[in-house]
């Protein structure tokens, strides 16, 4: 099949969270399965194009796109996604939509007044570039709200285009909380047929426009990134107002768990960690722990567990339950290595404990890919107390690195981490981590205490580590499921 894969962030060019990881990996796996894939993303000025071999596409030339009544001249650069075995090129083409006016802002996402315009321009540009390439995709795979209007543009604005007469659209929700809801003005800026914005129309949401709702209702097939989250999204509690629309699409709405790019996240080959290791020989893990702690100026003690956190610091990630039990947490015989950035409230809480307990807490505020890898390799446990978690990748990376996840049982966390005690209750020793259901500090403390107790039982701990390290969440299986979705969408659109 021919697949145009469209995303606002793609690793290694731009990444603010898991979407970047997914968009950098799934297209390559689809290509491995024999499909022809072209990836599209905006060209931001957050990365150095010379590092990635981008080339201006003369044959495409300049593409004129009108947004909010203003005409922009858009150019296209092309590169190849890095190869799966570390080669420079994978053979999968990535097209960068280059419009400095909208995308040279030193950040991938902004709070600027024209955030809607940025992604209207991106979506329309992708369609125009496909036309210039004269390449008729069987599938346009859109991701998250940024691409939510694209299926509508294909269906309506470009409804007359022969090139797209058989093109189907698939829309993946990576996070329901980010909806791209804007005022009524956005209808005009995007030049969309007003019928979609009559009350109750596919694009209308509380009198304004919702990119996410549009994507949900107009795409041929919709999916999200784990089975449990797909079920949760149909409920008012976790559907964030989109549950009525998802319920309307129930027969065309699926959950497909994300995979992991084990070429990037694998302790046996990881180039960002000083000591590689495997489940056959875990000695490198301890060396990484020592390296991590010494470089962060914490005392190394093999017998004291290190709890790692690598996260966007936003409400979703559940750090609110730490505050009421922060003294108890600080009394645990453990060290903490925390990496992340986001809301002031959480940054402030973590800063406070790192200042008051410098002997056990180290905080790095910001984004640091190398440190993220080192924490996965050097920590003993990995904490994710999320309120909700569509899939979550860090707990899956943690499994591979023998870093035992302690998670709240929600969404993808529930689908990927099996609580050790729960497995024992079933008469098995198959657990891979610790999980709790109640969103409270007590429940979190209880799980951490269980984990710390077991950490001191060397044999038990190793069993849990090896259980996790033996799991295989490579992309192949998930990519095959996407191909099934594509086929279903293609049949529908025909
Ligand atoms: P989300 O997409 O909700 O942020 P995921 O667990 O799916 O959550 O993916 C997060 C990704 O972003 C992981 O690859 C993680 O390592 C990375 N990440 C998050 N915060 C940071 C940070 N401060 N520095 C480096 N990497 C980070
Ligand atoms: C979102 C979710 C995260 C998921 C990622 C990739 O950012 O918050 O759970 O893993 O997208 O799908």
Count of C-beta atoms within a 10 Å radius of residue 280: 8
- The tokens for 185 are 């003005």
Same fold, 2-259+476-493 and 283-472: yes
Name 342's bridge partners.
313
Average pLDDT across each block of 10 residues of the chain; the chain has 494 residues. List them in order.
98 95 97 97 93 94 97 97 81 97 96 98 98 98 98 97 97 98 96 91 96 98 98 98 98 97 95 97 98 97 98 98 98 98 98 98 97 98 98 98 98 98 98 98 98 98 98 96 97 87
Residues with Cβ within 8 Å of 449's Cβ and at least 6 positions away in sequence, in order, are 332
318 Cβ inside 6 Å of ligand 1: no
Give the C-alpha separation, 206 to 190, whole Å: 18
Strands 253-255 and 306-313: unpaired
Residue from 175, 230, 232 whose mutation best tests the ligand 2 pocket (most atoms within 8 A of CB): 175
pLDDT of residue 91: 87
398: left (phi over 0), alpha (psi -120 to 50) or beta: alpha
Number of H helices and E strands in the chain, helices first, is: 18, 19
Give the C-alpha separation, 338 to 358, whole Å: 12
Closest to 158 measured CA to CA, from 119, 189, 190: 190
Instruction: Could you list the beta-strand ranges (E) of 402-493.
Output: 404-408, 434-436
Closest to 238 measured CA to CA, from 396, 109, 408: 408
Closest ligand 2 atom to residue 174 Cα is: 11
Residue with tokens 């709790």, as numbered in its chain: 436
- The tokens for 395 are 């707990």
Residue with tokens 């093999």, as numbered in its chain: 302
Closest ligand 2 atom to residue 411 Cα is: 9
pLDDT of residue 83: 86
pLDDT of residue 181: 98
Model confidence, pTM: 0.96
**Which one of the ligands is nearest to 174 CA?**
2
pLDDT of residue 371: 98
Q: How far is the CA of 75 from the centre of ligand 1 (A)?
A: 30
Closest ligand 2 atom to residue 389 Cα is: 9
Domain 283-472 has CATH 3.40.50.970: no
Contact 130, 137 (CB under 8 A): yes
17 Cβ inside 6 Å of ligand 1: yes
Give DSSP secondary structure letters for 313-360: ESGGG-GGGTGGGHHHHHHSS-EEEEEEEE-HHHHHHHHHHHHH-TTT
Q: How far is the CA of 290 from the centre of ligand 1 (A)?
A: 23
Contact 373, 398 (CB under 8 A): no
Q: How far is the CA of 111 from the centre of ligand 2 (A)?
A: 20
Q: How far is the CA of 392 from the centre of ligand 1 (A)?
A: 9
CATH number for region 2-259+476-493? 3.40.50.2000
Pocket of ligand 2 (CB under 6 A): 17-19, 22, 174-175, 225, 258, 389-393, 412
Residues with Cβ within 8 Å of 425's Cβ and at least 6 positions away in sequence, in order, are none
Q: How far is the CA of 151 from the centre of ligand 1 (A)?
A: 28
Give the C-alpha separation, 380 to 408, whole Å: 18
pLDDT of residue 493: 85
Residue 373 host element (H or E): helix 369-378
Q: How far is the CA of 393 from the centre of ligand 1 (A)?
A: 8
Q: Show me where the domains of the chain are located.
A: 2-259+476-493, 283-472
Residue with tokens 């959950």, as numbered in its chain: 255
């Amino acid at each position: 099949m021919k697949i145009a894969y469209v995303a606002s962030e793609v690793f290694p060019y731009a990444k603010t969270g898991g979407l970047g990881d997914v968009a950098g990996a799934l297209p390559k796996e689809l290509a491995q399965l024999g499909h022809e894939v072209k990836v599209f993303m905006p060209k931001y000025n957050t990365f150095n194009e010379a590092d990635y071999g981008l080339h201006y596409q003369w044959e495409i030339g300049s593409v004129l796109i009108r947004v909010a009544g203003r005409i922009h001249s858009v150019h296209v650069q092309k590169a190849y996604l890095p190869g799966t075995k570390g080669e420079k090129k994978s053979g999968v083409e990535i097209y960068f939509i280059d419009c400095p006016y909208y995308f040279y802002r030193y950040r991938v996402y902004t709070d600027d007044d024209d955030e809607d315009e940025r992604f209207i321009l991106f979506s329309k540009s992708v369609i125009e570039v496909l036309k210039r390439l004269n390449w008729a995709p069987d599938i346009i795979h859109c991701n998250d709200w940024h691409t939510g209007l694209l299926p509508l543009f294909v269906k309506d604005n470009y409804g007359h285009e022969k090139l797209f007469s058989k093109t189907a659209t698939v829309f993946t929700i990576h996070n329901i909380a980010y909806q791209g809801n804007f005022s009524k003005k956005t209808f005009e800026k995007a030049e969309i047929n007003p019928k979609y914005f009559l009350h109750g129309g596919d694009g209308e949401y509380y009198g304004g426009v919702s990119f996410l709702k549009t994507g949900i209702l107009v795409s041929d097939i919709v999916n999200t990134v784990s089975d449990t989250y797909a079920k949760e999204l149909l409920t008012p509690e976790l559907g964030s107002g989109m549950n009525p629309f998802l319920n309307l699409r129930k027969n065309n709405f699926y959950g497909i768990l994300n995979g992991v790019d084990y070429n990037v996240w694998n302790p046996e080959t990881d180039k960002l960690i000083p000591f590689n290791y495997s489940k056959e020989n875990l000695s490198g893990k301890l060396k990484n722990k020592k390296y991590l702690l010494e470089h962060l100026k914490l005392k190394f003690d093999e017998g004291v567990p290190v709890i790692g956190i690598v996260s966007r610091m936003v409400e979703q990630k559940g750090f609110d339950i730490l505050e009421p039990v922060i003294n108890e947490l600080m009394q645990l015989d453990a060290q903490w290595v925390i990496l992340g950035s986001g809301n002031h409230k959480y940054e402030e809480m973590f800063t406070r404990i790192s200042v008051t307990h410098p002997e056990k807490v180290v905080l790095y505020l910001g984004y640091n890919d190398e440190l993220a890898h080192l924490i996965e390799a050097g920590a003993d446990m990995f904490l994710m107390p999320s309120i909700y978690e569509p899939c979550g990748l860090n707990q899956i990376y943690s499994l591979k690195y023998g870093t035992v996840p302690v998670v709240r049982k929600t969404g993808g966390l529930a689908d990927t981490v099996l609580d050790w005690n729960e497995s024992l209750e079933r008469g098995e020793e198959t657990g891979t981590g610790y999980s709790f259901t109640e969103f409270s500090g007590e429940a979190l403390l209880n799980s951490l205490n269980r984990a710390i107790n077991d950490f001191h039982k060397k044999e038990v701990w190793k069993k849990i580590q090896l259980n996790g390290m033996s799991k295989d969440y490579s992309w192949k299986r998930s990519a095959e499921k996407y191909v099934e979705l594509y086929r279903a969408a293609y049949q529908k659109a025909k």
